[in-house]
Structure 1
Amino acid sequence: MSESKVEATDHGMVAEFTTVDSLLAACRRVRDAGYIKTDAFTPFPVHGIDKALGIKPTILPWICLVAGITGTMTALVMQIWMNSIDYQYIISGKPFLSLPAFIPVAFELTILFAAFGAFFGMWALNGLPKFSNPVFTDPRFDRATDDRFFLYIDSSDERYDEEGVRALLGETGSDYINKVVEDESPKQVPKFIYSVWALSVAASIIPLLCVLTMRVTNSSKPRFHIFPDMDFSPARDAQQTTSLFGDNRAMRPDVPGTVARGQLSGSMEALTGIDFDALTAVDPGAAAQLVAAYQDEAAGTTTPPAEPVDDTPWLDHIPVTVDEALLARGKQQFGIYCSVCHGMSGLGNGLVNQRATEKQFDTWVPPSNLHDTALYSETYPDGKLFSTITNGVRKMAGYASQIEVQDRWAIVAYVRALQLSQNAPLDVVPAEKQAEVKAAVEAAKENLKRQEEAAAKAAAEREKEQN
């Protein structure tokens, strides 16, 4: 075979991978090498594949925008001409040129034209229709819809060199690298396809004729529902029941342990609040068992592990960087989830507790006062406080499904700041601020003294009036 023949039939190089992570690593390697005409084939959508390949945003959104604007202008011009110029007609007392009345039709045509722009624009940008692809010549490529992942580098890339590309793909760890050649099957469309197409077009007219016949005739029979599920939808609203699922809940909870790619942050210590180094030193078996339980939970194959026992070696520090941004986030999350029971100041006087105390509910367990010395870090480590937020305690439910790991640690940091704000010694205040703090404390004491005196005086006057 001549060199010109090889160049004419060489379309690129394809490599096979067995895992998503190996494919993503290979995509990044090829992208960093400067190749831009690449593609990946996977049996399911892979989060982050566009960034890994270095695919730039397309102009498809702009095509949709232009098509949508065209639809809007078409609708407005059509209605202005029809109702305001060509055939002036008063509808419900509205003026001939009434832009608010033209909005429904303008909206519908905007959506219609934008949909057409997206559909046909996608076809044009992807070079469709294409009835065959050279990669189909590789028999192993059939597994791209089953359990294999493929990376393709097109020969039209300006950096393409067969030997260099083969070496590059070999460095990515692929066990199978193959050159993509021209499909030698005939390119002519079989004649019977035209016959089938013509018959299909003719057959498609039959439903239209049936519909036109029904519109001009009367019938005593009930309406015929071609798609009854569209007319009688079994949809359910939130909080309703359904027989489609075993728990009879219409709202479906998140799959246990589901974590989006790139969002699993932190070590096991950060995820649990447990000092695993200390736990391994005391009981290696228990540490390994707890790690396996959390891994199974992340995989969604088991229920979350039970709350550890009291002798668990909790972390005595916060395993994330504590700064002003973290404290601000913790204050926000505390106000959303915690303040309703514990109060904004953490004294346990939240609105829920006030209501329960007022109604004297027998089963109500008052929330803890976060300024109780028993909850200070010396006796209640940061890891245990994190675990309490995660798994709950007594009447308090766990917030693992509602508050992210980073935000739970932010709440822990904010609670420690609250505790310090109420019991901080003066020596932790900068020297230049100590005088100001002393003056503020004396003013507060004086104000409290005046309030107490006023309250005592008012009580004495009420007693005197009663006597």
Structure 2
Amino acid sequence: MTESQPKPQTVADDKKVHGVVAEFTDVDSLLAACRRVRDAGYTKADAFTPFPVHGIDTALGIKPTILPWIALAAGLSGTTIALLMQISLNGQTDLFEGIQYPYIISGKPFISLPAFIPVTFELTILLASFGTFFGMWALNGLPRFSNPMFTSPRFDRVTDDTFFLFLDAKDSRFDEAGAKALLGELGGEYVEPVLEDDSSKVIPKGLLIALATVICLSSIPALAVLRMRVTKSSSPRFHIFPDMDFSPSKDAQQTTTLFADGRAMRPDVPGTVRRGEMDWDLNFKTGIDMDKLASIDPPRAAQLVAMQSDVAVDGEDEVVSEAGADEPAEEQDGEAAEASEPTAETSAAPVTADNTPWLSENPLELSEEALARGQQQFNIYCSVCHGMNGRGNGLVNRRAQKILATTWTPPSNMHDPTLYSDVYPDGKLFSTITNGVRKMPGYASQIKAKDRWAIVAYVRALQVSQNASLEDVPESERTKIEREQAEVQAQLKAAAEAEAAKAAEAASAE
């Protein structure tokens, strides 16, 4: 049951009394008076000071505000609304049926909480701020265009050097005479009632006209936007940030006039080392036995060392590349030695002997995990041209053949005998993946060195699988393969018999 509030009392001149205020000259006397008022049972009291006073809220018995709970409730409401809105608009509920727009990005699920975080965060902060702002207004009884305390001329000193203690007439224990006596006993130097402000409550017409004018003017941009939404214009729209609307940035594979080679994508600076790649030696990163290369071709070995470790080449070592200084030496050798599918231009030219001491064995420790990694990387980067089985029948090659692309060079068949390990060493295959050959680009910037060696291992496994016999299969799998082989042979035999019977019936009918 709520306690009824007494009506404000009046004095002889019929002005409404809003309370009694006492004036104090120091903080200590004010705090002592606040404690006495609290102990006397007053719950609607307030203190006014020229500066913040620590502990005054406790002295007055002011309870903690519920404003944090309002902010929490508003923030949780924002979180809930944002998540429901994004999930529903993505077509996962019927809350916004008719305006749903499922948006697939890179195969991500429709309900992807990490992707929902930005919108959820913004709406949580927005509603929490609104709840805090308007909750503070409501709890403080705002907006208020006048305060009865301003009717006292002495109250002006509250911003200077004087302290005031106010007892509200709405308090259930309030009695004007008793309140004055109590504040006088507490050391109040000047005690007076707080009376109703007798100034006019009518809002000046000039202020109303100015307010109406501002509202009308502020609606013009909104009306202009609404008009543009429903009309068409032959003039281009106004660009507030033209550099953002017309970004000078370039996309992948585009051309540009900023660089001499015309490429927007810039190659790695010579000597660039991928994070985590410093653990491998030069043999691992080039596919070449560097000790042997240094003994037969010191300038080229010095060049490879400089490219891999960004170390300047000794001036006495003259490094000359017949195909150009910008082209890696191992790429040139790969192109010269790639004789499996010669083009018209290269068939007539003499083939330079490849004396590069390629690594004949894969330095990567082979395991099921390494082969699985190699298969994964091969399927991602290589199968689009070479095909999933490595025979050169990938999607890109089939598309090029379909449109009769005249500049297309068919990719190599990995099962060509000229690409087997006894002719085409593992190191050379690794170098081809790294630096590219003919139309094939280098993948050093996209595939780690360890994964490139894993691809080499998988390619060798693919080559062996084409000539494997049943004895090469583990004993645990042989029975299963033999059973499947027998089933296939039985099906083929049945199909052949059915075809022969059909041919016999056709012959007899004639």
- TM-score, normalising length: structure 1: 0.45
Structure index of larger Rg: 2
Give the TM-score normalised by structure 2.
Answer: 0.42
Kindly indicate which of the two structures has a greater share of residues assigned to helix. 1
